[in-house]
Chain A
């Protein structure tokens, strides 16, 4: 089939109409640009967590990213720094003794995905899995998985 000018015009106009239609439809449906963010996944261990339970939890996290162990004191220092960076001070009720040991990984993504940590639900040594979203070093939100 010979390509005639009319074919090019019809094709071009239709492509532009398709682009316009898609943009309008997606915007109306709630599409937005979602930037890549830094997430810190912190698995808080119970005071009674055994070495085996801690190892199991670490293995689950290691499938996602490199794991760092943080003691209660280190966790307290992390929290204090986070509050300071947002121009705030820690509540008096939070003390180094009140902070449990934790396993920490840092990941990047567009949204929080709790699926990789579902296996931790059955681990009695895990108290809570908390995902903090960061922007420029400041915590924007904290979500429990």
Chain B
């Protein structure tokens, strides 16, 4: 007897039905799981959002610095600091006036006559933005004879809190 039709037992299995909505749902859920696991692992490993801070670098110049030396330092500062920067010169008179206002606002009364603008030093100020500050950027200026002192102040991008950095 010749079989003209396959019996149900011997029939090949039907090809699996492609369930695109199901695959999409699976893909979406897996993607979200991947994101969640990544965030969780990074948080546990100590990763955090670091805001962009503002750093103000102040170079206090020696009293006998010539204008030529000052221009040279300004050019070097602009070259050393990252990003587009403007170096601001604070003259002795401006520095003296700021000191006087600070002195008087702290309730110290009038400034003694012995304190004059001649005692103040010129300053160069430059602001830099970033998530961190590399103190190596200012180290070369700390070693220069024309520079008396270098300070770096950070204004926290998140809290606005002011910190004096120990770049020594």
Q: State whether B30 touches A10 (Cβ < 8 A).
A: yes
Contact B166 A30 (CB under 8 A): no
- Choose among A17, A35, A36, A140 the residue that contacts B31 (Cβ–Cβ < 8 A): A17
- B11 interface residue per 8 A CB criterion: no
| B165: interface (CB < 8 Å) | yes
- Which of A19-27, A62-70, A99-107 lies at the binding interface? A19-27
For B35, the chain A residues whose CB sits under 8 A away are 18-19, 21-22
- Residues of A80-128 contacting chain B, CB below 8 A: 86-88, 110-112, 114
The answer to whether B163 and A141 have CB atoms under 8 Å apart is: yes
A interface, size bucket: 35 or more
Contacts of B159 in A (CB 8 A): 114
Q: Is the CB of A29 within 8 A of B34?
A: no
Among A16, A18, A34, A111, which residue has its beta carbon within 8 angstroms of that of B47? A34
Other-chain contact of A140, B30, B32, B37, B166 (Cβ < 8 Å): B166
Once A and B bind, how many residue pairs between them come within 8 Å at the CB atom?
Answer: 110
- Expressed in whole angstroms, the minimum distance between the Cβ of B60 and any Cβ of chain A is 13
Q: How far apart sit A35 and B48, CA to CA, in the bound complex (Å)?
A: 10
Q: Is A144 an interface residue (CB 8 A)?
A: yes
Instruction: State whether A86 touches B52 (Cβ < 8 A).
Output: no
Whether A139 contacts B166 by the Cβ 8 Å rule is yes
Q: Is B27 an interface residue (CB 8 A)?
A: yes
Can you name 8 A-B residue pairings with CB atoms under 8 Å?
A13-B30, A14-B26, A14-B27, A19-B35, A19-B37, A32-B131, A139-B166, A141-B164
- Chain B interface residues toward A at CB < 8 A: 16, 22-23, 26-39, 42, 45-52, 131, 154, 159, 161-166, 168
